[in-house]
Amino acid sequence: MRGRILIPLPNTGSMGRKRNNFYMRSIFLLALCIFGLLQYHNFNYLESRDTVLGDAVTNDSDDAILAMVPATLHKYLTPHSRNHSTAAVTGAMGGAPLLLNTSSSGAATATTISFDVYHPPNISEIKRQIVRYNDMQLVLNEDTFGPLQNDSVIIVVQVHTRITYLRHLIVSLAQAQDITKVLLVFSHDYYDEDINDLVQQIDFCKVLQIFYPYSIQTHPHEYPGVDPNDCPRNIKKDQAMIRNCNNALYPDLYGHYREAKFTQTKHHWIWKANRVFNELEVTRFHTGLVLFLEEDHYVAEDFLYLLAMMQKRTKDLCPQCNVLSLGTYLKTFNYYTYHSKIHARVRLVKIDSQSIINDYRKVEVMPWVSSKHNMGFAFNRTTWTNIRRCARHFCTYDDYNWDWSLQHVSQQCLQRKLHAMIIKGPRVFHIGECGVHHKNKNCESNQVISKVQHVLKIARTSHQLFPRSLTLTVPSLSKKTKLRKGNGGWGDLRDHELCLNMTLPTR
């Protein structure tokens, strides 16, 4: 053993192969990690961009909102309240008149400058003003924009008291393409001189104001307001009969008695529609579209462009459609998230870009549903005439909501049911945080207004507005809308009679 010489074995390459396999596996794992990191970074970028945009939306300060509005339109957002200006003057002077010690010769003399203190009009004066406005039927700016054309759109805005939202609606209307061609009708159920000043300041289209003459404001202690002898909402019928209150015989289908603040909205809606289609001199022969908005709506700049395109395409896309709808009550349509997801699909799945553009211009057709299609919807005189013939169904249906009543008319009376064409990407948004059905702590919140402004900004920069054409998409099969009993609040025969009287011919 001592003399044995160790002879090295020949190299078979197995050790080398092991080393090579180890290196290859390491390289593969490293490449896989890098690829994963790149993909993570790619998707994280998309999410971070959406987060940044979302964070921008949360900036709902007055200055931020004002910065999103062209300077020429700031005048519509700047309050000039008669009450506020008076308070500011008297407050600065301690409630006393201002004394200036001046004279023509330079000597000090006491000169009193008297400021007229604003006194809101009383009920009698408000009634006189309402009669005057409704009789005059004055169309503002007609000398600038010319008479109403038969193919022009009439926009009717139902206005109550929420001037802050109304200011933003006016700003959005001012930025719309072809707004100079429309007649903008403001239908008021509350007389307010600050609101009147705001409306009469509009200089971008023809404007007309009409005033619902049977409001709670002008009838605070009598029907259709609150008569002291009206039955309380929750009193039982037998107790109401003993008390002998005015409407004891007519509770609604749930056993409750009328509340004037809820019934007014339905009365106002049918009155304004009849007023526009059948009574105003400037509109009673008009056969074009009438678009219905409310004070807390906000429109996209291409809403009239889309409306005209939808009207043209009804013949081939939906011959049975007699209502066009530009708004939805879905959560505010998330254009910027939608846009980023679409582009992610283009990169990862390599979809044809033309098919992506189609997503921005789709319309659906379906039976008109009150809870979905009652915002920013339009119809013409033919449809109104059919609705008016069914006035008894509208006015006697025990539901204080005008839209549910309209759906009842469609289901129970119209030979040609209400059928709607709806744009999938909404052009009319709801910005009101508070109203008849919604109560929030901050009823003048800027949050929704700011969000809609940013949504439309992203839609504009991503070229989602003003599509060149429309495509029809088939909606998912939905259950047939069942006939249902109303929501109540409309059992009083006085409401039935007033409503029916407002649809009778006056000529």
Label residue 368 left, alpha or beta by phi (over 0 means left) and psi (-120 to 50 means alpha): beta
Task: Confirm whether residue 454 is marked as ligand binding.
Answer: no
Task: Confirm whether residue 264 is marked as ligand binding.
Answer: yes
Task: Confirm whether residue 286 is marked as ligand binding.
Answer: no
Task: Confirm whether residue 267 is marked as ligand binding.
Answer: yes
- The answer to whether 169 and 297 have CB atoms below 8 angstroms apart is yes
- Given the DSSP bridges, would you call strands 206-211 and 419-423 parallel, antiparallel or unpaired? unpaired
Task: Confirm whether residue 143 is marked as ligand binding.
Answer: no
Task: Confirm whether residue 408 is marked as ligand binding.
Answer: no
Q: What is the dihedral of CA 87, 90, 93, 94, to 10 degrees?
A: -90
Task: Confirm whether residue 189 is marked as ligand binding.
Answer: yes
* Distant-in-sequence, close-in-space partners of 208: CB < 8 Å, separation ≥ 6: 137, 138, 139, 140, 183, 184, 185, 186, 280, 282
- The b-or-e profile of 480-501 (16+ CB within 10 A means b, else e) is eeeeeebbbbbbbebbbebbee
Task: Confirm whether residue 299 is marked as ligand binding.
Answer: no
CA distances, 204 to each of 168, 212, 232, 238, 375 (Å): 15, 25, 47, 57, 23
Task: Confirm whether residue 162 is marked as ligand binding.
Answer: yes
Judged by DSSP in three states, 210 sits in strand
In whole angstroms, give the CA distance from residue 396 to residue 398. Answer: 6
- The b-or-e profile of 392-413 (16+ CB within 10 A means b, else e) is ebbbbbbbbbbbbbbbbbbbeb
In whole angstroms, give the CA distance from residue 306 to residue 151. Answer: 15
Task: Confirm whether residue 296 is marked as ligand binding.
Answer: yes
Task: Confirm whether residue 266 is marked as ligand binding.
Answer: yes
Closest by CA position to 336, among listed 65, 67, 54, 69? 54
Beta bridge partners of 155: 184, 291
In whole angstroms, give the CA distance from residue 74 to residue 151. Answer: 31
When computed from its CA atoms, the radius of gyration of the chain, rounded to whole angstroms, is 32
- The answer to whether 243 and 233 have CB atoms below 8 angstroms apart is no
* Distant-in-sequence, close-in-space partners of 153: CB < 8 Å, separation ≥ 6: 181, 182, 183, 288, 289, 290, 291, 304, 307, 308, 378
> Which residue positions form the known binding site for Mn(2+)?
296, 430
> Which residue positions form the known binding site?
158-162, 189, 264-268, 296, 430
> Which residue positions form the known binding site for substrate?
158-162, 189, 264-268
